[in-house]
Amino acid sequence: KPLVADADCDVVICAPFVDLQAALDATEGSNIKIGAENCHWAESGAFTAEVSAPMLKAMGVPYVIIGHSERRQYFGETVNKRVRAALDNGLKVILCVGEVLEEREQGVTFEVVGMQTKIALQGVTAEELENVIIAYEPVWAIGTGKTATADQADEVNGYIRQVIAELYGKDAADAFVVQYGGSMNAKNADELLS
């Protein structure tokens, strides 16, 4: 907590469901916010083991990650429904988008990331967009030790901002938060953050 007490940005830790209460307790009174790693699209129903957006809201969890590549790949994630559920319950969404290595090598990164962004934000109003952050996380750079260069990350982040401008206008795009994630570490953080 002392290391980020004077941070001039939002500080968010997204923890597994079983650790959310401990994380909330540990960060109480600090500038650190807690997020969940996912939420279900339905408020209730026969969805054993799923955690709904109202459950997260009731706990006091303000953020949720939606559309992480592993959720898309292994579980066929229904991203737009989850975004809608989170926003309808007052949560801030960290929306993950990104291409696999084969898509990057085939030169379709923009098409893939643009499609993921547009589908996920379908039905999201300009006002609601203020509660969305997009995290560009190329699948080929998550936990692989490979990292996008600063130029690659900047290029795709810029394209995402262009898509937001097309959907919501330049002012919304200029105010929108787009961030990079994927094998960031102490050695490459300065370059990527620049």
Q: Evaluate if residue 79 carries a pLDDT over 90.
A: yes
Active-site residue (options: 68, 70, 99, 105) = 68
- Residue 34: which residues within 8 A CB-CB, separation 6 or more? 12, 13, 14, 15, 20, 23, 24, 27, 61, 62, 63
- Taking alpha carbons only, the member of 102, 118, 119 closest to residue 159 is 118
Q: What percentage of the chain has pLDDT greater than the value 70?
A: 100
Mean predicted lDDT score pLDDT of the chain: 94
pLDDT score, position 24: 98
Tell me what pLDDT residue 192 has. 83
Please tell me the predicted confidence (pLDDT) of residue 191: 87
pLDDT bin (cut points 50, 70, 90) of residue 123 is very high
Give yes or no for residue 98 having a pLDDT over 80: yes
- Helix spans in 40-142 (H): 53-59, 69-75, 79-88, 101-105, 109-120, 126-129
3-class DSSP state of 79: helix
Taking residues 116-135, what's their average pLDDT? 98
Residue 4 tokens read as 């980020």
Contact in structure between 1 and 27 (CB atoms under 8 Å): yes
Tokens of 102: 């084969």
Residue 137 designated active-site: yes
The active-site residue out of 37, 77, 99, 137 is 137
User: What's the pLDDT at 188?
Assistant: 84
Instruction: Please state the separation of Cα 98 from the chain's center in Å.
Output: 11
Query: How does pLDDT run across 163-174, given as a tens digit for each residue?
Result: 999 999 999 999
- Is residue 43 annotated as a catalytic residue, yes or no? no
pLDDT digits (tens, 9 = 90+) for 29-39: 999 999 999 99
Total-model pTM = 0.94
